[in-house]
Each structure stands twice: as C-alpha cells, then as structure tokens.
Chains A and B, each alone.
Chain A
Amino acid sequence: MQENVLLQMSHIEKRFPGVLALNNVDFTLRKGEIHALMGENGAGKSTLIKVLTGVYQMDGGEITVEGEPIVIKSPQDAQNKGISTVYQEITLCPNLTVAENMFIGREKGEWVRHKEYEKRADEILTQLGIPARSTQQLGNCSLAVQQMVAIARAVDMKCKVLILDEPTSSLDDKEVNMLFSLMRDLKGQGVGIIFVTHFLEQVYEVSDRITVLRNGELVGEYLTEELPQVELVSKMIGKELEELSSLGETEEKNIVPSEVFYEAEGLSSSEALPFDFSIRKGEVNGFTGLLGSGRSESVRAIFGADKVNGGTVKIKGQPVKINKPVDAMKHGIGYLAEDRKRDGIIAELSVRENIILALQVMNGMFKPISRSEQEAFADEYIKVLNIKTAGRETPVGSLSGGNQQKVILARWLLTHPDYLILDEPTRGIDVGTKLEIQKLVLKLAEEGVSVTFISSEVEEMLRTCSRLIVMRDRHIVGELKGKDLNQTQVMKTIAGGEA
C-alpha cells in the first residue's frame, strides 16, 4: 500500500487574519485512485486545493510527491511538478481552437506548428474519447467538452495528480457520464485524481476513497464502499459546537396557525425548476439540501433575482407580479444573498451607506434619507446588531466577514420586511455571530416576520426552523416538520435513495 502513495500532504496549516482555515490536515492520494474531497462551505477544501496548487503558501506542514518533499511556489510551478487542476470556471481561452488550448503556453520555439499540434491533439482526443475536433473553436464546444479539453491538456503534460474542482456542477447527466468514463480511463493509466464535488451520488459512482473536512479540520479518510451515504452526510455536517446549544428547544417553536403570507405555485426562473412554496406569517422555514441542490436558486426565484419564467405568486392572498428585486422589495420581501462579496456588500461604500441602501431604494431616488437620519439609523443598527466597526463611515469592505454580514442584515431589517429570506447568513463567520444571527431570526419570527433560513449546517436550521424543505438535484424531495425535524431524518432525506 505504502509504495503506492503518490501525494502525501501532512499537518497542513493555513492561517488567514483571524481565521485558521486549515488546522493540521492530512491528505493522502494513491496512484490510480479517484479520491473525493468532501466538506460543506468553509470546511477548507478549496483552501487545501489552493495550497496544493500553489495559489496559497501554507503556513505549516509538508507536501511530498512520490516520497520527495516539494515546495510549490505558483500554479505554474505546480503544473511543472505534475500537479494539474481543472477548475469549475474553465481556465482556457474560448477564442482559440481546441488544439491551441492544449498546447499554448508550453510550445517550444517561436513558431506555432498548427498542423503538428492539430494532429497530436486529435490523437489525444481520440485516445481519451473526447468528442471534439482539434480545429474547433473552444467557445463553440459544450462546457463538458471544454472541461475535458482542459483535462486532456493536463494529461498531455504528463500530470501525476489531477485535481478536478467541482467539474460537474454545470454539466447534464450525459455529460457527467462522459466525464466519468474519462476519469476511469485516467485512473487506469495510474493518474491520481482528486475529485471535489458536492453531488453525493457522483461520489459514490466514481470515487474509491473519501476524505472529509469540516471547519478546517480533518474528519477522516474512508473507503467509499465502507461509508454509507447517510453517514457521509453526518460527517460533513457534523455536530454543532456546545456553545450553540444554549438556544431554545425546537418544541417551543411556533406552530401557531396564522395566515399565509406568501404563496407561489409553479414558480420557475432561468435557474430554478418550477416549484410550489408557501410561508405563513411569523413562520421560520428552511430550504435545505447540499450545495447545488437548487436551494439558493429557488429562493432567488422568490425574490425575482433571476429572470422569472413562470408561476403564480400571491401575497396575503392577492396575486402579485414579482419579476425583479425591486418588485419583491415593494411587497415587503428582503433577501440576503448567498455570495456576500458578489451580491451583498458594496465594498467601497461606508457602513452607513450600505445600511440605508435598500431603504433608500424603496423610498425612491427623489426622497433621499437625510444625512442625520442616515447616521441615526446606522448608529442604531451598529448598536443593536453589535457591529464591530471603527465608525459608521468605515468602508464596509474593511470589516470582517461576520460584521459585513450584520451590515447587510441591518440593511434589510431597516426596511421592516414582512418576509426575510436569508441565504447562508452564517457562512464563513465566527461562532458568536452565528449565534446572534440565529437568535435574531427567532426574535423576528416572534414579531410576526416570516423568515426563510438557509444554512449548510443542519443543526442551525433545526434550531431555528419549524419546517424544512429538502431539495436534491434541483427538485423538492421532501418537507419535514414536527417530530420529523431531527438530524437523522434530515440526513436521510438529503442523502435520498437507499435511506
């Protein structure tokens, strides 16, 4: 067994200001195996990959390839040492041909020998069974094929370790199968493949071994066949920290019948398949499911964040049209987006400006909130939510993640919404803040606000929600409430199938 080891990462440590992203993590990859790297958001898998590919420099630990200790300085260096990565975002040039994409940046001599490259590219493509022609423009190929071309490039560079970072998230079933047969081929040739994904079925379909990370720590390494799906899910999601159990018990929560606030039938968007959904006044419900299960896409559809394709929506029984965010806001819906950096904060604007933004939009451009009012609002929410900032004029981008999140929460609370959608509000923030946010959710519900709460951590949702909607593969696969609201049941429903 031991001589089979291709890549050994031991005691890896990586620190970011205020966060220990990787804490004493070990990872072993053997020749000719497909090794799945699993973990929810913030578990540290992408940090581990970035350390391995030289994007980040590790703060402690050792990496050996075939027994030789190596230092990886840059992505380029990693490639030269036989470690290639194919990212979810394709890092090829769509405006060049397939052959050029396979050879550019590593040709010898000043001349491009198109004919020769095309011949060699066609050989490799045929050999790997990739349905593309070398002379095709890459941008005209499907995403799956583009990904395979990236793999072909890596293979031709004689890579020993191939990292596939979420390669299947934008592929359909047929394309996934194509990719898998290619992966099995490479495995047969002795390449070690690290497969990062959030699709459980796929892990069980192709991988030999699974390593699970959680909160920057190693949970364990398992043989795929020996680890049932439900157990994998529980290892990924794990138990919560003791501090959090101080929150109220599930039983006490609101099962008070009240009027339905929001109701959607067959709602669909460019990203979400049609679904039905409703929420009562003062209810806290959750959408759960693994990343990519469609939970975020569904709530985005409710808010009109993506192009809405169809369905009927009623608010307090009245039919309404919600096609864009501003429509939703006018109907008292607030939405805290999953990707805080991209969709949430306006980094260079001050805390004050970020807090009053949504209210200002609802008031309209011609009714600006006066400066003194803005300051009062900002001060109030900085105090209420305990936002740690040097002052209300500090650019929000310089705050820590948790405080940025509180600023966005403040932004929506200020609009006094009837219905608040919180997509991963606790992601990537410290435990104390997580607790505060959960308490806040419960308090809002008591005040009659409906809340949809999404979190990768099931415990959090069990503690706050009275009803859980479970999604898998972009479909709603179950709705849990009452006594079904427990970890085992949730895991089973998420994992699906044989449970």
Chain B
Amino acid sequence: MKNLFGKRKEPLTNTQLLMTITIGIFVVMYILAMTLLGGGFLHTQQIFDMLNDNASLIIVSCGLTIVMIGGGIDISVGAVTSLVVMSCVLYLNNGGNVFVSILLALGIGLGFGLVQGFLVSYLEIQPFIVTLAGMFFARGMTTILSVNPQKVDHAAFSKLRDAKIEISWLGYTAKNGNVVPARIELGVVVALACIVLVFILLKYLRLGRNFYAMGGNQTSALMLGINVKRTRFMSYILSGLLSGISGFVFMMHTGAGNATNAAGMEMNAIASSIIGGTLLTGGVGNVIGTLFGTLTLTTIKKIVVSSGLNDPWWQSITTGGMLCFFILLQSVVLSRRSKGKKS
C-alpha cells in the first residue's frame, strides 16, 4: 500500500494494480463525461445521487468482496436484502419501533450468514449451490410475507428516511438564483462507514488477512496455522450481516417494500467487485476498488442515458461490454504477470 501514500516504492501488488486501473478508468470516464456531456455531470450532486441510489449495492458488494477474497461466492445477497426490506416494512407498519427493526435487519442477515456459512465451511457443500438455495429461500419468504408492495407508514421511520445531510457549498445555484445544496442520504453515510470498517478489517485485522491467505492458497493457509473452516465461516457471516444492513439502507432509500426489490442485485454486486479488481479465484481484491467498481458501473449507465441512448437495452448492453472488458483485462494482465515472473 505504501506507494499509494508515497513512501518506499514496491511494485504494485495485483490487488493494487487492478484497483488502480479501475480508478483510472473511472476518473477518465467521468472527466470525459463532464467535458463532452456536461449537464448533470458538472454538478457534484451527480456523484451524490449515484451514491444515494446505490448505497445498499455498495454495502452488499463489500460483503461479497470479503467472500470472494476468501475464494467463495455468495449469490444470496440481493434476495436477503429484499427479505430484510419486506420484514422491516411489515414490522414497522405493525407498530414496531425503529431500533428493533434495525436489530431485526441485522438478525435476518446474521441468520443467513450462519446457516450458509455452516453449510459451506463445515459441511463442505459448494458455495454456489448453498447460496443459490439461500437466494431461493429469501425470495420465497419475501413473497410469503407479502406479494403486494408495502409502503412504510411510521412517523419515527419517516423522519429517518427523510433525514438528509445538506452541504450548501457543494451545491449549485439554480437558474432562479436559489442555492440548491448537495443532498446526501443517511444510507450513504452508513455505506461509507461500512467501507471504512471493511477496509480496516481487511487490512489491519488478523481475520481480514486470513481471508486473503485462505483465498490465495488454501493449503498454504492451513499449513501456516490458520483455521480455514472458521475463517470461511466468518466470511459468510460478515456477508450475511452486510446484506442485513443493506436491506435497512434500501428501505431508508425507498421507504417501501416490494417483492421485486433488489432484483438482480447479486449480479450487480459481483460485477462491482470484479470491476473493482476482485478475482473470483480469491486472494486478490480490495473494498475501495469495489466502491469504484460500483461507481464505474453507475457512471456508465448515466453516460448511456445522457448520451441520448434512451432505449432501455443500452444500459445493460454497455454494462455487459464493460464487464467483458474488465474480465479480459484481468485475465491478460494477470497471465502476463505470471509469465514475466517465470522467465
């Protein structure tokens, strides 16, 4: 990491290299968007909107990054998010209190983490199948709770939902002379907090380093004295918990529950992680990269819309193209590196 903070020069690690590429591409893309497209891209609110809309995606991506660094996969995250939203909405509408609903959200996430983690780590079942079942279960439970969209009707929660941080100096002056301050939702604060916490976990906590070791080489990790099963178990628990948090943040953003909430979020989260430089093979990745992965993904979509390609298919076609580009880039960069080492 030192080179990023300008001390001794070490060659970039794979994690840093892939992350740097992503950040670079994001910055270039954003600047291009500002100069060529202008409009919304010139306002700081554009970035805040991207964060506001994607806070929960950022949070689940953090969890997924952890699991992927450990060499696993968790495709239940989107469905768990959706289940949490629906459960909390119904609970609040039946006169619950906000604090307990937060606990409920965390509890559901933790529950999924515990069960999936146990099945994957201790019963050694393929993570894809386990979390696929988790996804089915969460989606099914969501519709069992309610098929119809539910709007939250709860005074205390509404306050929380509408609370926004306003920063006037980052705002802009509208045509009529009024200053429109930049608005940041509370969810973004939570998301950023998650990023910081996961960053610290992955970098400075023993557990975090064990995730890398396990993903880098499982046999080695075992020989080095790491309890691999427990470490893997923890990665799924963390991912579950973050999905719980993500659910609550999602609810704060939309203020309603719907069975189709967070549809396809798992794949967006995987895409974010991959674009951010996390390898599905494990051992390589970084949560900062994941944040930029999400932002890159979102920016692409915004650019597509702003460039007048209004037809809805363009967004996901460009996303797919982007994904293809990054996957091939990783494959080429990494194989080149390992070849260079040999000779």
Query: Do A and B touch, yes or no (CB under 8 Å, in the complex)?
Result: yes
Given the complex, which residues of A lie within 8 Å of B225, measured CB to CB? 76, 79, 104-106
Given the complex, which residues of B lie within 8 Å of A104, measured CB to CB? 209-210, 213, 224-226
Q: A92-B224, A135-B10 are in contact. Are A110 and B216 (CB under 8 A)?
A: no
Please report the C-alpha to C-alpha distance between residue A369 and residue B225 in the assembled complex, in whole angstroms.
51
Q: Is B13 an interface residue (CB 8 A)?
A: yes
Contact A93 B217 (CB under 8 A): yes
Of the stretches A94-102, A159-167, A306-314, A334-342, the one at the interface is A94-102
Q: Is A133 an interface residue (CB 8 A)?
A: yes
Q: Is A4 an interface residue (CB 8 A)?
A: no
What is the CB-to-nearest-CB distance from B130 to chain A, in angstroms, rounded to a whole number? 24
Please report the C-alpha to C-alpha distance between residue A137 and residue B221 in the assembled complex, in whole angstroms.
16
Contact A140 B11 (CB under 8 A): yes
Chain A minimum-CB-distance residue to B207: A110
Contact B221 A110 (CB under 8 A): no
Q: Is A91 an interface residue (CB 8 A)?
A: yes
Given the complex, which residues of B lie within 8 Å of A106, measured CB to CB? 224-225
Name A95's contact: one of B210, B216, B224 (CB within 8 Å).
B216
Please report the C-alpha to C-alpha distance between residue A75 and residue B2 in the assembled complex, in whole angstroms.
34
Q: Is B212 an interface residue (CB 8 A)?
A: yes
Name B206's contact: one of A76, A90, A110 (CB within 8 Å).
A110
Interface centre among B212, B213, B224 (most CB of A within 10 A): B224
* Chain A contacts with B in 65-115, Cβ cutoff 8 A: 75-76, 79, 90-96, 100-101, 104-107, 109-112, 114
What is the CB-to-nearest-CB distance from A46 to chain B, in angstroms, rounded to a whole number? 16
Q: Is B145 an interface residue (CB 8 A)?
A: no
Please report the C-alpha to C-alpha distance between residue A94 and residue B215 in the assembled complex, in whole angstroms.
10
* Chain A contacts with B in 213-233, Cβ cutoff 8 A: none
Number of interface residues of B (CB under 8 A): 30
Q: A104-B226, A140-B341 are in contact. Are A96 and B216 (CB under 8 A)?
A: yes
Name A91's contact: one of B205, B215, B220 (CB within 8 Å).
B220
Given the complex, which residues of B lie within 8 Å of A140, measured CB to CB? 11, 13, 341
Chain B minimum-CB-distance residue to A136: B10
Please report the C-alpha to C-alpha distance between residue A110 and residue B207 in the assembled complex, in whole angstroms.
7
Chain A minimum-CB-distance residue to B225: A105
Q: A104-B226, A137-B10 are in contact. Are A93 and B205 (CB under 8 A)?
A: no
Q: A93-B216, A100-B209, A112-B209 are in contact. Are A105 and B226 (CB under 8 A)?
A: yes
Contact A93 B10 (CB under 8 A): no
Q: Is A129 an interface residue (CB 8 A)?
A: no
* Chain A contacts with B in 337-382, Cβ cutoff 8 A: none
Per-position 1/0 for B211-247, Cβ under 8 A of A: 0110111011101111000000000000000000000
Contact A91 B15 (CB under 8 A): no
Given the complex, which residues of A lie within 8 Å of B213, measured CB to CB? 93, 95-96, 100, 104-105
Please report the C-alpha to C-alpha distance between residue A96 and residue B215 in the assembled complex, in whole angstroms.
11
Chain A minimum-CB-distance residue to B200: A111
Q: Is B159 an interface residue (CB 8 A)?
A: no
Interface residues in chain A, defined as those with a beta carbon under 8 Å from any beta carbon in chain B: 75-76, 79, 90-96, 100-101, 104-107, 109-112, 114, 133, 135-137, 139-140
**19 A-B pairs with C-beta separation under 8 A:** A92-B217, A93-B212, A93-B213, A93-B216, A93-B221, A95-B283, A101-B224, A104-B209, A104-B210, A105-B221, A105-B226, A107-B206, A109-B206, A111-B204, A112-B206, A112-B208, A133-B8, A135-B8, A137-B11
Q: Give the 7 A-B CB pairs with smallest separation, nearest first.
A: A105-B225, A93-B216, A95-B216, A105-B224, A95-B283, A91-B223, A91-B220
